[in-house]
């Protein structure tokens, strides 16, 4: 199923990179451990030669005292920027070596027991002391004398961090871990993070090489990770599942980090927001990689709702999907069942005195993917959206993960209260730096994450910030494995959903709707049979104007409150059974002109009533009546703001009614 991928061949190191030179220099430093011993040997030979030629006169030895004093003085002055201990070590070594050389010239290196003792014991002691100093320095525990520190020291003032030091903590094949130390009280982590780009330029590293995260113990220190983004330019072949037969509680492996480490992601007790622009690879880089791992675990079921692309994304692994919804009514029915099964599942866990899902608890862990979720939300009423938020609060502790995938998680695409329930974020390439804040937490962006750098040019690359992911990893790019269609089809056939049946508690609570669902493989087969034959692939490509419009769709009003504070740990409010979703079919769409006339009529009514402000959600009855969703409404409101001067933007995403529409 998986293509051959020998160990070590996942990433190809590009030749002659700046990072390569730094790493090579780090390795070469290990060779300097032998320098004290070589210097001692040269000194021993020199002393023997001097003794042979000038050992018959004490004045030759006395003549070596002034040079020794001068060298000791110079070593003390030249090492003024070192610590006191290091200055004493350097100057003491100089004085001791010069004094020994003077006596060895007069008496011989082994002239008597005293000289022999000083030569052997003293020489070995001095050499070992320098070995210790070099070893500690190479581990990054000293004052930053490794090659990275030497390079940074010459640029610290240029990049706006004067008197700061950076030293290497660890060097591996694909990354350098370093510590950035600033003078106490002069810099904060925000100051250091703002200068990432300048540090990259000063060290002649590729853009996106440096991430800076806070040190949990010292506010004047920062953890620095240096990697080479060029290593991720090419797709990485899929090596196959990481732990087939294990529990879903074990981490999955949905890709590789830019530093060469494999991603280890645990799916329990949170919901995941997946965001990325068109063609950024969020379906194949995210959904495929997650599910290729999940279907090999023994205690998980997968539900997918995709009413936009229908079977296009998930068709290849349909046999491994327990429930697939590709129609609006079926997607809403699925969400209704998700709500219905929460109470029985939490009661089952409560009887076992468990506060959350655990392996062996008797319940199947459930992953629910909502692909192109904004279209699903458009089909919901305000009441259903509120109930969905309540479902998200309760689902975590019931062993249900909701993976909501959409292009832009802005307020008019995803309810802000729903977004507050996400603790996991998987962000692929986005259209602008403004979009980044909707797909990643602020601390990850501050550390250096910049998915807008990719746009759609690096499909499958993402940043992952979720529980269990180390903070220093959250700002390092990762790339999902390239899984071919043939590989996925064979893989899904080997791990069908029938081999992981849903538990009895959930099956009983899901009832008739779940029992009578159409198998995913059947839906895909029907879709393939109904698909038009001999379609010209060139006709599927968007025109240049459509591409421009797609970019323009990202230029919308700001989020009314990106930091809306909803406590994900709040007490779970599970609605009673009679308060569940009501899944009415959406109304048939009116003609666009007729629907626009309805909108103008509604605005005119509000203007006559003296209403001055409204939010787009207030137009939900109009959406239900006309059959149009939020995207269409937003477009018309924008038109009324820009062209007709009927509306203006208010605060927190609202609109101000300036006047009644003309002709109504």
Domain check: are 445 and 328 in the same one?
Answer: yes
Q: How would residue 287 be classed by pLDDT, with cut points 50, 70 and 90?
A: very high
**Most confident stretch, 362-376, 539-553, 560-574:** 362-376
Of 103, 138, 173, which residue sits at a domain end?
138
pLDDT for residue 580 is more than 80: no
Domain check: are 168 and 298 in the same one?
Answer: no
pLDDT for residue 30 is more than 70: no
Mean pLDDT of 146-169: 83
pLDDT for res 537: 39
| 8 is a domain residue | no
Query: 655 — alpha (psi -120 to 50), left (phi > 0) or beta?
Result: beta
| 503 is a domain residue | yes
Domain check: are 430 and 299 in the same one?
Answer: yes
pLDDT for res 660: 83
SS3 content of the chain, % helix, strand, coil (to 5): 45, 10, 40
User: What is the spatial distance between Cα 161 and Cα 184, in angstroms, rounded to a whole number?
Assistant: 12
- Buried (b) or exposed (e) across 21-36, using 16+ Cβ within 10 A? ebbeebeebeeeeeeb
User: What is the spatial distance between Cα 236 and Cα 285, in angstroms, rounded to a whole number?
Assistant: 11
Domain check: are 131 and 155 in the same one?
Answer: no
pLDDT for residue 167 is more than 90: no
Mean pLDDT of 136-162: 69
Domain check: are 504 and 609 in the same one?
Answer: no
In this prediction the pTM is 0.62
Domain check: are 514 and 373 in the same one?
Answer: yes
| 1 is a domain residue | no
Q: How would residue 600 be classed by pLDDT, with cut points 50, 70 and 90?
A: confident
Domain check: are 88 and 208 in the same one?
Answer: no
Mean residue pLDDT of the chain comes to: 80
Alpha helix positions (H), 370-414: 373-378, 382-395
User: What is the spatial distance between Cα 661 and Cα 440, in angstroms, rounded to a whole number?
Assistant: 40
Task: Identify the sign of the CA torsion 54, 57, 60, 65.
Answer: positive
| 193 is a domain residue | yes
Q: How many domains does the chain have?
A: 4
204: domain CATH number? 3.30.980.40
**CA–centroid distance for 119 within its chain:** 57
User: What is the spatial distance between Cα 323 and Cα 321, in angstroms, rounded to a whole number?
Assistant: 6
- The residue ranking higher by pLDDT, 211 or 55, is 211
pLDDT for residue 622 is more than 80: yes
3-state secondary structure 238-300: CCCCCCCCCCCCCCECCCEECCCCECCECCCCCCEEEECCCCCCHHHHHHHHHHHHHCCCCCE
Q: Count the neighbouring beta carbons within 10 Å of the beta carbon of residue 509.
A: 19
Residue tagged 């100093």 (tokens): 133
User: What is the spatial distance between Cα 292 and Cα 269, in angstroms, rounded to a whole number?
Assistant: 20
pLDDT for res 579: 43
Which structure tokens are listed for 256? 């590789």
User: What is the spatial distance between Cα 180 and Cα 215, in angstroms, rounded to a whole number?
Assistant: 9
Q: How would residue 362 be classed by pLDDT, with cut points 50, 70 and 90?
A: very high
| 243 is a domain residue | no
Q: Provide, rounded to the nearest whole percent, the portion of the chain with pLDDT above 90.
A: 30
pLDDT for res 561: 47
| 502 is a domain residue | yes
Q: How would residue 8 be classed by pLDDT, with cut points 50, 70 and 90?
A: very low
Mean pLDDT of 276-286: 90
pLDDT tens-digit series, residues 186-207: 778 888 888 888 888 888 888 8
| 316 is a domain residue | yes
Sequence-ordered list of residues with C-beta below 8 angstroms from that of 137, at least 6 positions apart, any chain: 143, 145, 146
Mean pLDDT of 49-67: 75
Mean pLDDT of 232-241: 88
Domain check: are 128 and 169 in the same one?
Answer: no
pLDDT for res 13: 37
pLDDT for res 423: 92
Q: How would residue 338 be classed by pLDDT, with cut points 50, 70 and 90?
A: very high
pLDDT for residue 222 is more than 80: yes
The phi, psi pair for 253, rounded to 5°, reads -125, 85
Mean pLDDT of 152-156: 83
Contact 429, 276 (CB under 8 A): yes
User: Which among 267, 260, 266, 234 is positioned nearest to 461, based on CA atoms?
Assistant: 234
Helix or strand run (H / E) with residue 478: strand 478-479
Domain check: are 324 and 432 in the same one?
Answer: yes
The three-class DSSP label of residue 121 is helix
Task: Identify the sign of the CA torsion 191, 194, 198, 199.
Answer: positive
602: domain CATH number? 1.10.10
Q: Count the neighbouring beta carbons within 10 Å of the beta carbon of residue 330.
A: 18
Contact 615, 606 (CB under 8 A): no
pLDDT for residue 337 is more than 90: yes
pLDDT for residue 504 is more than 90: yes
Domain check: are 284 and 410 in the same one?
Answer: yes
Sequence-ordered list of residues with C-beta below 8 angstroms from that of 625, at least 6 positions apart, any chain: 587, 598
In eight-state DSSP terms, residue 519 is P
Domain check: are 412 and 346 in the same one?
Answer: yes
- The residue ranking higher by pLDDT, 202 or 535, is 202
pLDDT for res 556: 41
Of 78, 108, 138, which residue sits at a domain end?
138
- Domain that residue 604 falls in: 587-657
User: What is the spatial distance between Cα 512 and Cα 132, in angstroms, rounded to a whole number?
Assistant: 73
pLDDT for res 257: 93
pLDDT tens-digit series, residues 461-494: 999 999 999 988 999 999 999 999 999 999 999 9
Domain check: are 156 and 48 in the same one?
Answer: no
User: What is the spatial distance between Cα 461 and Cα 300, in angstroms, rounded to a whole number?
Assistant: 26
| 551 is a domain residue | no
Of 114, 138, 162, which residue sits at a domain end?
138
Mean pLDDT of 235-250: 93
Tell me which of 64-73, 279-288, 336-345, 554-563 is least confident. Answer: 554-563
pLDDT for residue 276 is more than 90: yes
486: domain CATH number? 3.40.50.300
Task: Identify the sign of the CA torsion 426, 431, 433, 437.
Answer: negative
pLDDT for res 358: 94
pLDDT for res 488: 93
Q: Which residues pair with 614 in a beta bridge?
A: 655
pLDDT for residue 643 is more than 80: no
């Amino acid at each position: 199923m998986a293509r051959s991928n020998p160990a070590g061949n996942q990433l190809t190191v590009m030749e002659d990179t700046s990072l390569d030179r730094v790493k090579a220099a780090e390795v070469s430093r290990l060779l300097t451990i032998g320098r004290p011993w070589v210097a001692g040997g040269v000194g021993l030979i020199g002393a023997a030669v001097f003794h042979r030629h000038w050992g018959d006169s004490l004045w030759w030895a006395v003549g070596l005292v002034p040079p020794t004093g001068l060298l000791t003085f110079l070593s003390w002055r030249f090492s003024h920027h070192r610590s006191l201990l290091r200055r004493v070590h350097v100057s003491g070594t100089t004085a001791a070596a010069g004094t020994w050389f003077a006596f060895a010239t007069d008496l011989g290196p082994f002239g008597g027991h005293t000289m022999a003792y000083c030569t052997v014991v003293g020489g070995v002691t001095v050499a070992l002391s320098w070995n210790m100093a070099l070893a500690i320095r190479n581990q990054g525990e000293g004052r930053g004398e490794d090659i990275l520190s030497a390079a940074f020291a010459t640029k610290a003032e240029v990049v706006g961090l004067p008197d700061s030091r950076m030293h290497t903590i660890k060097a591996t094949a694909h990354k350098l871990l370093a510590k950035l130390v600033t003078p106490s009280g002069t810099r904060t982590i925000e100051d250091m993070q703002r200068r990432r780009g300048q540090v990259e330029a000063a060290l002649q590293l590729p853009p996106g090489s440096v991430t800076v995260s806070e040190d949990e113990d010292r506010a004047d220190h920062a953890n620095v990770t240096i990697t080479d983004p060029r290593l991720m330019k090419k797709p990485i072949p899929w090596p196959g599942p990481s732990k087939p037969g294990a529990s879903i509680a074990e981490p999955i492996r949905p890709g590789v980090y830019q530093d060469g480490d494999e991603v280890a992601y645990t799916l329990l007790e949170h919901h995941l927001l997946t965001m990325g622009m068109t063609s950024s690879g969020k379906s194949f880089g995210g959904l495929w990689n997650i599910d290729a791992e999940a279907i090999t675990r023994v205690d998980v079921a997968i539900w997918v709702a995709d009413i936009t692309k229908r079977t296009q994304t998930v068709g290849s692994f349909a046999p491994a999907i327990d429930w697939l919804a590709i129609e609006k009514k079926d997607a809403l029915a699925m969400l209704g069942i998700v709500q219905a099964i929460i109470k029985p599942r939490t009661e089952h866990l409560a009887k076992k005195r468990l506060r959350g899902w655990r392996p062996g608890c008797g319940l199947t862990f459930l992953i629910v993917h909502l692909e192109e979720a904004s279209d699903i939300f458009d089909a919901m009423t305000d009441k259903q959206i509120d109930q969905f938020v309540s479902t998200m609060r309760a689902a975590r502790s019931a062993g249900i993960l909701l993976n909501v995938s959409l292009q832009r998680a802005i307020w008019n695409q995803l309810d802000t209260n729903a977004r507050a329930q996400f603790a996991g974020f998987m962000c692929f390439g986005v259209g602008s730096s403004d979009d980044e804040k909707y797909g990643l937490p602020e601390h990850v962006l501050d550390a250096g994450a910049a998915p807008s750098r990719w746009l759609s040019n690096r499909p499958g690359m993402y940043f992952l910030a979720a529980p269990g992911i180390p903070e220093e990893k959250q700002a390092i790019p990762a790339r999902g494995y390239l899984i071919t269609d043939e590989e996925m089809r064979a893989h899904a056939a080997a791990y069908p959903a029938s081999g992981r049946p849903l538990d009895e508690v959930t099956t009983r609570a899901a009832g008739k709707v779940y029992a009578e669902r159409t198998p995913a493989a059947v839906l895909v087969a029907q879709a393939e049979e109904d698909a038009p034959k001999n379609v010209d692939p060139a006709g599927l490509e968007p025109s240049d104007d459509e591409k421009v419009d797609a970019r323009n769709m990202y230029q919308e009003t700001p989020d009314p409150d990106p930091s809306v504070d909803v406590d994900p740990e709040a007490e779970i409010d599970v609605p009673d059974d009679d308060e569940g979703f009501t899944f009415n079919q959406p109304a048939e769409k009116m003609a666009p002109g007729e629907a626009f006339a309805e909108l103008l009529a509604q605005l005119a009514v509000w203007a006559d009533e003296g209403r001055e402000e409204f939010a787009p959600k207030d137009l939900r009855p109009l959406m239900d009546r006309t059959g149009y969703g939020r995207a269409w409404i937003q477009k018309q409101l924008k038109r009324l703001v820009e062209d007709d001067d009927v509306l203006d933007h208010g605060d927190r995403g609202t609109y101000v009614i300036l006047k009644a529409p003309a002709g109504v």
